[in-house]
Amino acid sequence: MHDFFIVNYVDWSFTGYHDYLCGSKSYNGHQGTDFVLRNFSQMDSGVFVFAAEDGIVTYTIDTLFDRNKTAVSGGLGNYICIKHDNLFYTYYGHLKKCSVLVNVGDSVHAGDTLAMVGSSGYSSDPHLHFEVWYDSLYNWDPFSGTCGNPQTLWIDALPYHADFGIIDHDCNNSIPTLDTLKERLPSQKIYSYPADTVINFWMQGYGVLANDISAVNWIAPDGDIYYTYDYAHTVDWWYYYFWSYIPLNAFTQTGIWKIQYLVNDEVKIEDSVEVVSHPSDIGSIDQYYFITNPGNGDILLHWNIPLTKSSPVFWYDLFGRLLYSDTIEASSTEYLISGNWKPQSIYFIIIGNNKPFTCIMP
């Protein structure tokens, strides 16, 4: 429950699915136990797989692609099979490509290093699929419980976890996908527009159940809730991601933003980021802007003091969405913005890091 997480056990149901303790930690037809890593970054660091018992290696394959993020096909992918003296066979699946350290016919002892965890074959995340068979005929669950076997095969069975927990969480400056989240996005805690246009919060957890409601509150520096995103889960998830993001623009409040992740209105994570003042390209200038409409919907900007440096100009709508940006050359005292593509409305214009001023498009 720190470096790896048991997500799926053997399915004991013939009609739906349930694990050896009658819980939902399995899926239809699953024949093994899945030990899942936190992310692909952890996989890349090298996580070893060890033999569960003494035996003879009967099969190996480790030439297959090992970074699958969507389970499509391929079975166990790269895997090792070991035959034991008591007619049991153990299988170690979804291994990392070119990581297998044993050969067919090798004798191994319990605890010997076999290979590394990967995501080959029918796999969506880096994990070890551990499967047990008796006499190569009967699939066997090594755990014991109410809905499973009366006795365990483990010397010291790992405890069963059915509660809620957090695996990881952080913030970054891009809108994520599952692919990027599984790689473990770089952390970012300080943001500044226009270098950053998005603040994203993501979390990774386990044990959220059907009908549970996940929510993210974005609390602005002035203490008001700026935005809330929520979602009602439709199934039990024992390994899942959840994320929410807000746009960052020239009107975003500077200061410390607080972020809360809640499940059923109970705060599970509290995080924070800082939005700093937008960088200055021209320094503070004391001048007035004049706006004229030369026709055809164009806007001509005039100001009194020539710019000492080139400066960005930004045009926003009422919702804070950036519609147009450009660079004004140094020494300029006017700038033309074509308005043919703008409907009648109120807009905001910013030159450099100066305060925005209002423009009404007739």
Q: pLDDT tens digits for 84-117?
A: 999 999 999 999 999 999 999 999 999 999 999 9
pLDDT of 292 > 90? The answer is no
What CATH number is given to the structural domain containing 181? 2.60.40.1930
- Cα 77 to Cα 273: distance, rounded to the nearest angstrom: 41
How many domains is the chain built from? Answer: 3
Same domain, yes or no: 225 and 169: yes
Residue 128 belongs to a domain: yes
Burial class for 43, CB neighbours closer than 10 Å (0-12, 13-18, 19+) = buried
The reported pLDDT for the residue numbered 293 is 65
Residue 334 belongs to a domain: yes
- Cα 207 to Cα 6: distance, rounded to the nearest angstrom: 11
What are φ and ψ of residue 197, in 5° steps?
A: -115, -5
Full residue range of the structural domain in which residue 126 is found: 4-140
Q: What is the mean pLDDT of residues 297-317?
A: 79
- Cα 261 to Cα 270: distance, rounded to the nearest angstrom: 7
Same domain, yes or no: 235 and 305: no
Domain end point (choices 275, 308, 342): 275
Same domain, yes or no: 357 and 251: no
**Tens of pLDDT along 237-280?**
999 999 999 999 878 899 999 999 999 999 999 999 999 975 43
Residue 158 belongs to a domain: no
What is residue 7's three-state secondary structure? strand
pLDDT of 285 > 50? The answer is no
What is residue 43's three-state secondary structure? helix
- Cα 236 to Cα 209: distance, rounded to the nearest angstrom: 4
What are φ and ψ of residue 296, in 5° steps?
A: 60, 20
Same domain, yes or no: 135 and 245: no
Residue 154 belongs to a domain: no
Q: Which residues contact 344 (CB under 8 A, 6 or more apart)?
A: 361, 362
Residue 320 belongs to a domain: yes
Residue 157 belongs to a domain: no
Same domain, yes or no: 169 and 237: yes
What is residue 45's three-state secondary structure? helix
- Angle, vertex CA 142, rays to CA 136 and CA 145, nearest 5: 130
Same domain, yes or no: 228 and 188: yes
What is residue 41's three-state secondary structure? helix
Same domain, yes or no: 345 and 227: no
> Which runs of E-coded beta strand occur in 1-159?
4-8, 33-37, 48-50, 55-61, 79-83, 88-93, 107-108, 113-116, 127-134, 138-140
Q: Show the tokens assigned to 174.
A: 């891009």
**Tens of pLDDT along 332-359?**
888 887 766 666 777 778 877 666 667 7
- Cα 343 to Cα 157: distance, rounded to the nearest angstrom: 68
Residue 290: pLDDT band with limits 50, 70, 90: low
What CATH number is given to the structural domain containing 62? 2.70.70.10
What CATH number is given to the structural domain containing 342? 2.60.40.3080
Domain end point (choices 240, 275, 310): 275
Domain end point (choices 275, 301, 316): 275
Residue 46 belongs to a domain: yes
Same domain, yes or no: 253 and 299: no
User: Given CA atoms 148, 154, 155, 160 in this order, what sign does their dihedral have?
Assistant: negative
Ordered DSSP codes for 148-206: SBSS-S-SSPPPP--S-EEEEEEEESS---HHHHHT-PPP--EE-TTT--EEEEEEEEE
Same domain, yes or no: 262 and 297: no
CB of 43 within 8 A of CB of 3?
no
Same domain, yes or no: 74 and 128: yes
Helices (H), the chain: 40-45, 178-182
**Tens of pLDDT along 143-180?**
999 999 999 999 999 999 999 999 999 999 999 999 99
Choose among 255, 249, 246, 205: nearest CA to 226: 246
Residue 148 belongs to a domain: no
Same domain, yes or no: 84 and 200: no
Same domain, yes or no: 119 and 179: no
